Amino acid sequence: MIPVLIILLYLAVVALVGGVAFRRGKSNTEDFFLANRSVGEMVFFLSLFATNMTAFAILGSSGQAYRQGIGIYGLMASSSGLVIPLTIFLIGTRLWALGKRFGHQTQVAFFRDRWECDRIGTVIFAVSALMLVPYMIISIMGGGTVLAHISDVRGTSAPFIPYWLGCAIVALVVTLGVFLGGMRGTVWVNILQTTLFLCFGLVAVLTISHALPGGFGEYVSKLGGDPQTRFLVTRERMPPQAFWSYTLIPLSSIMFPHMAIMCFSARRVTAFKRTVILYPLAILLIWLPCVFLGVLGVATLGKVGDPDGILLLMLEKYAPEWLAGILGAGIISAVMGSDAHQVLALSTMFTKDVYQHYGGRERYGEKGAVYFARAFIVVITLAAYVVALELKAKQGIFEIAIRYAFSGFAALAPVMVAALFWKRSTKWGALASTLFTAGCLICFALLQHYHRPGDVIWQIGHGKEAIKVLFINPRGDVSFWNGFMTVVPMVFGSAFCMLAFSLLTRAPSRQTIEKYFSSKRPQPTPLPAALAHTSS
C-alpha cells in the first residue's frame, strides 16, 4: 500500500506542475510547443534526457540482461553514449539555429522549406508519425503494467491498481500535464522525473548489495563458473555482427520527432554543451546498475516468469516497502517523461505540418491552432488508451513495431544529414530515401510474419562454411549475413538513395541554397567613410 501512495503522490505533483505551467503560458504555438524557445541549460539537459529514456531503460534493460547477460550494456547503452551526443552535437545544434533563424518548429517544416517541396514533406510526416504512434501506445501499456506490478500486494494475485486503471492513470496524468502545460509543463516535470530515475540505479544497487550476504563478487563468480550461466557474464552467445549493428541504432535518436522538437526549444545553443558531455554519464548511471542487477537476478532469484519484472521482484525481496515505492516512482517517471514528449510531438506535428500548413492558421489564427493542439492531445491519448486495453494480449506486435521504428528512424538520418550539410541534395533524394525506409519496414514485417525464429530464408553454401544471407534470428528479428541487423542495409540503402536520386535530379534554387548555406555570422555594420577615416 505504501508504494502505491508514494506513486499517487508523485502523479499528483506531476499534474500540479502542469497546472502551474498553464498559468504561465501564452496562447500561441511557439509558447505551447516550444516554451517560447526559452529552456535553460540544465533544464534542457534533464528534459532532453527524459525525452529519450523510456521504461525500457530500467525494466527492459534489466530484463534483457537477465536473458542475454552483461553484453546488453555494450550493445545498447555504451554505443548510445557516444552516438547520441555526437548527433546532438552535429545535428541538434544546427537544427536549433535553423529553428531560431527561420521559425521552424518541426523537422518536416524544415525539409519543406529546404527542398522547396510540399507533398514530399507530407510523406515524411506520415512515415514519421506512423513510426511514432506504436511507441506512444506501448508507453501507456508499460505504465499500466508497472503500476499493476508495484501495487500487487505481496502474496496475492489481484493488484490494487489493475492494468486498465494503471493505463488510465498514466494516460490521464500525461494528458493533463501536456494539455495544460504544453512544452513548459513537460520540461518542468522532466526535472523531477530525470532526477528521480537518475538516482534510481544507485539507490537500488546500494540497497540490494546491503541485503545480499557475501557481496556481489561471489554471485558473479558463481555465474561465471557454471557453463550453463557463463554466457551471462561474458558475450560468448552474442554475435559480433549484431553487436556492431547496434551502434547504428542510436542514429534514430535525433530523428525521433520528440527529440528534434526538443532541440528547437533551447534558449541558447550553449545549452547543448553541457548536454552532450553529461549524456554518456547519465546513461552510465541508469543502465549500469540495471544491467548488473538484471544479471544478478539469475543468481539470486533463479527462474522467473517475466524477466522484464526482475528488478521489481528484487526490490520486493530486498528493499523496504517505502523505498520500493520511491523506486517505483522512478520507473513511472521514465515511462511518463518520454510519453509526454511523444504526445506533445505528435500534437506539434499534426498542428504545424498538417493543420496550419493546409490553411488552418489563416482560418482560425494562432489561438485556434493551440485549441486544435489541445483537442488533438485528448483524442490521441484516448485512442492510445483504448488500443492499450483492447490489444493488451498483442503487446508483442507493438514491441516489434518499436524495434523496427528504431531502425526506421535511423534510416532517415541520412535525410537529415543531407538537408543540413549537402547543398546538392534534393527533395527527390529525400523521397527515395523515405520510401526505401518505409518499403524495408513493410518487407521485414512481412518476412517476420510468415517465418518463424530460426528459419533460414536464403543461404549460400552448406555445413559449417554456410553463410546465412537472410534469416530470422532466435529472437524473431530479420537478420543478414550471419547476424547483421536490419538497420545496416536500411541506413546504407537510405544513404545511397539520397545520394543517387539527388545527383539525378535538379538541385533546389540558388535562393534556397543561399538561404541555408550562406555565412550565418552577422557582418558588422560598415562605418561611414568619414568616420572610418577619422578612426584610422
Partner 1 sequence: MRWIKPALLTLLVAVVYVLHQDFWNWRKFEPLVLGFLPVGLAYHAGYSLLASATMAVLVKFAWPVHLEDTLPYDPKKPGPPDPHS
CB 294 within 8 A of CB 76: no
Nearest to 277 by CA among 44, 38, 39, 37: 44
The answer to whether residue 520 forms part of the interface with partner 1 (CB under 8 A) is yes
Strand partners, 478: 472
The answer to whether residue 70 forms part of the interface with partner 1 (CB under 8 A) is yes
Considering only residues 10, 32, 110, 292, which one is a binding residue for partner 1 as defined by CB under 8 A?
292
Counting every residue written for the chain, the total comes to 536
The answer to whether residue 494 forms part of the interface with partner 1 (CB under 8 A) is no
Q: Which is nearer to partner 1, 150 or 291 (CB)?
A: 291
Closest distance of CB 418 from partner 1, Å: 18
Contact region for partner 1 (CB under 8 A) — 71-79, 127-135, 400-408, 441-449? 71-79
Closest distance of CB 453 from partner 1, Å: 24
Nearest to 347 by CA among 21, 101, 105: 105
Q: How far apart are CA 264 and CA 276, in angstroms?
A: 16
CB 21 within 8 A of CB 192: no
Considering only residues 13, 20, 199, 284, which one is a binding residue for partner 1 as defined by CB under 8 A?
284
Helix or strand holding residue 471 (H, E): strand 467-472
The answer to whether residue 445 forms part of the interface with partner 1 (CB under 8 A) is no
Considering only residues 20, 22, 26, 100, which one is a binding residue for partner 1 as defined by CB under 8 A?
100
The answer to whether residue 276 forms part of the interface with partner 1 (CB under 8 A) is yes
Residue 303: count other Cβ atoms within 10 Å of its Cβ.
7
Closest distance of CB 92 from partner 1, Å: 11
With H, G, I as helix, E, B as strand and everything else as coil, classify residue 212.
Answer: coil
Closest distance of CB 202 from partner 1, Å: 13
The answer to whether residue 419 forms part of the interface with partner 1 (CB under 8 A) is no
Within positions 351 to 390, which residues make up the interface with partner 1, using CB under 8 A? 357
The answer to whether residue 96 forms part of the interface with partner 1 (CB under 8 A) is yes
Residue tagged 522547396 (cell numbers): 116
Within positions 198 to 237, which residues make up the interface with partner 1, using CB under 8 A? 215-217, 220-221, 224, 230, 233-236
Q: How far apart are CA 148 and CA 142, in angstroms?
A: 10
CB 141 within 8 A of CB 391: no
Give the up-direction half-sphere exposure of residue 274: CA atoms within 13 A in the CB hemisphere: 14
Helix or strand holding residue 164 (H, E): helix 163-211
Positions that interact with partner 1 (CB under 8 A): 37, 70-71, 73-74, 77-79, 81-82, 85-86, 89, 93-94, 96-97, 99-103, 112-113, 116-118, 215-217, 220-221, 224, 230, 233-236, 238, 240, 243-244, 247, 268-270, 273, 276-281, 283-284, 288, 291-292, 357, 511-512, 515, 519-522
